Copies of this chain bind each other. A is one copy, B any other.
Amino acid sequence: MAAAPTLARRIARSGVLPGCHRLPAWGRAARQPPGPLQPPSLPLSPCRAFSNNKILVELDESSGVAMMKFKSPPVNSLSLDFLTEFCISLEKLENNRACRGVIFTSAVPKIFSSGLDITEMCGKSTEHYAEFWRAVQEMWLQLYGSNMVTVAAVNGSSPAGGCLLALSCDYRIMVENPKFSIGLNEAQLGIVAPFWFKDTFVNIVGHRVAERSLQLGSLHAAPEALRFGLVDELVAEEKLQEKAAAVMAQWLALPDHARQLTKSMMRKAVLDRLVAHREEDIQNFISFISKESIQKSLRMYMEMLKKKKS
């Protein structure tokens, strides 16, 4: 399946080719497995930190762990620019043999990510909707299918697409502040989470919790999110980074090769489903989002946000 020309062009300008989901099939060669008793292999390409406009990436080569910080105020919304930078950054790390794991967190107080940028879905051209949706798909395919260990350090609220981002990681740690909430609340906005958001959610919380939560568009406060399994544990804000590092170390203690093949086995069916229906999913998004009733709902929602702000 060809990548979207526009996204490809944007990414090509950065010298990084977009990868589809990266998990290897059974038995195919993956990144070098160091094995539990071997010394870590030397990094092939030195890389300390790189920063785009909206994302800061720091790689600790001694541990093989990168930190990806979202710094796109006010709410780290997933705009086309943000998504493009995200995919480029993740791809760089994926291709860097010195990097075995990534921790995702926010540099903006109180918010992890507010989800898809509504301005990208409102009053734009069909071509723009297609380009935007392909970038959303690409973000998920790369992240859910990453060969690296991925840990979400959720230090703020994380609705809709922000929740998807966390759900696509291997492990989720959330700050135990009950004011922070997380969930796929699309229904509240009059829109519908696509099937692959749903598949990712069902894989984590099971069918019943997903059905109820998606229909009600629920945002779950941190303690409830833990109870329903949306996140794996809660910690005090000041312990978040330390905890994320400890969890990462636990996952990196496993041989990469076996862990990656196992991850692929668990996620392949759901990844393959989007890959097989990618163009259809884009067309569905375009025809849904182009409806006048949906456009009206989104405009009203944005008005409400503006009033709330001022």
Question: Do the beta carbons of A26 and B192 come within 8 Å of each other?
Answer: yes
Give A251-283 interface residues, CB cut-off 8 Å to B.
251, 254-255, 257-259, 261-263, 265-267
Give the shortest distance, in Å, between A27 (CB) and chain B (any CB).
5
Cα A179 to Cα B207 in complex, Å, equals 29
Give the shortest distance, in Å, between A162 (CB) and chain B (any CB).
19
Q: Which residue of chain B is the closest to A206 with respect to CB atoms?
A: B206
Cα A157 to Cα B232 in complex, Å, equals 26
A186 close to chain B: CB less than 8 A: yes
Query: Interface-forming stretch among A32-40, A64-72, A76-84?
Result: A32-40
In the complex, chain B residues whose CB is within 8 Å of the CB of A297: 35, 255
Query: Interface-forming stretch among A3-11, A118-126, A210-218, A237-245?
Result: A210-218
Contact-residue bracket for chain A: 35 or more
Question: Do the beta carbons of A33 and B293 come within 8 Å of each other?
Answer: yes
Question: Do the beta carbons of A207 and B254 come within 8 Å of each other?
Answer: no
A195 close to chain B: CB less than 8 A: yes
Cα A288 to Cα B29 in complex, Å, equals 11
Interface string of A192-218 (1 = CB under 8 A from B): 110100100011111110111011110
Question: Do the beta carbons of A251 and B216 come within 8 Å of each other?
Answer: yes
Cα A265 to Cα B262 in complex, Å, equals 27
In the complex, chain B residues whose CB is within 8 Å of the CB of A265: 192, 195, 198, 214
Query: A interface vs B, CB < 8 Å?
Result: 26-27, 33, 35-37, 170-171, 186-193, 195, 198, 202-208, 210-212, 214-217, 229, 232, 250-251, 254-255, 257-259, 261-263, 265-267, 284, 287-288, 293, 296-297, 300
Q: A26-B288, A192-B265 are in contact. List 11 more A-B contacts (CB 8 A).
A: A26-B284, A27-B287, A36-B188, A36-B190, A187-B262, A188-B254, A190-B258, A198-B265, A206-B206, A207-B266, A211-B266
